[in-house]
A = this chain, B = another copy of it.
Amino acid sequence: MKVKLASHYGFCFGVKRAIKIAEEHKDSATMGPLIHNQKEINRLKNDFNVELYSTIEEAKEHETIIIRTHGIPKNDLAELKKNNTKVINATCPFVTTPQQIVKKMSEDKYSIVIFGDEDHPEVKGVKSYGDDVHVVPDPKSLDSLVFKYDKIATVAQTTKQKEKYLNIVNILILKYKEVRVFNTICDATFENQAATRELSSQVDIMIVIGGKNSSNTKQLFNIATENCISFLIEDEKELENKWFENKKICGVTAGASTPDWIIQKVIKKIEHI
């Protein structure tokens, strides 16, 4: 079976960078999971002795602590540094940007609107850098807000949809004298989707690799099924020969939390069918 890989798939820039940082720091610990993939977390533990901590209290003096791609709240970062741990910041640069924007805009007396989900670790981190910061998941949540200042600055969670961000921003523009709009949305998720759309229209069957509960993986799967028969798998063990009967060319893509070594195993197995 001939295999064709999507032009964009799997890890984004920020996750690749964080995993590389972890591999370069043996015997360290990450503050929060670098990625929502247990197999990759196990690999970092087994091959590089990288632990996973979920609270700052777990960090020990002089230990190397790697900050996750999503970033952590400002006070947690300060606490870690105060406690004589060696902090390596693997916060994705696309997340550091909104953190710094929120900090600067708060200093300049803007009220801040973050388009995002209150419970998302990235949003918690970004929010912590400001003074009057409001997390808004949808346009109707704007109705009840009371702002401290008369000027508004806005940022978005990096994985949100641009069109939905505009819906929120537009309401604010009509209501306030000044709205400072920072487009902090990252294209990675959408590049994977566009590449899946393109590839699935050129092949006989698509294999989408990723967590069955991962929302970005499910979105790739939905896009693929629009164009050809498609299967969602977590690893190569789930592949079934009968799927490939009478098929000539198979497209492969992977969700944002799927490590490359799993993708390679899947490709190798398909090529031998």
The interface of chain A, by Cβ under 8 A from chain B, is: 162, 165-166, 169-170, 173-174, 176-183
Contacts and interface: CB of A to CB of B under 8 A. Distances in A.
Contacts of A170: 166, 169-170
A186 to B, nearest CB: 12
A177 B173 contact: no
B183 A177 contact: yes
Contacts of A176: 183
9 contacts: A170-B170, A173-B181, A176-B183, A177-B182, A178-B183, A179-B180, A180-B180, A180-B181, A181-B181
Nearest to A167: B170
Q: Identify the 6 closest CB pairs spanning chains A and B, nearest first.
A: A179-B181, A180-B180, A166-B170, A173-B181, A178-B182, A173-B183
Contacts of A162: 174
Contacts of A174: 162, 166, 183
Contacts of A181: 169, 173, 178-181
A43 to B, nearest CB: 35
Instruction: Point out which of A165, A173, A179 has the most chain B C-beta atoms below 10 A from its C-beta.
Output: A173
Contacts of A182: 177-178
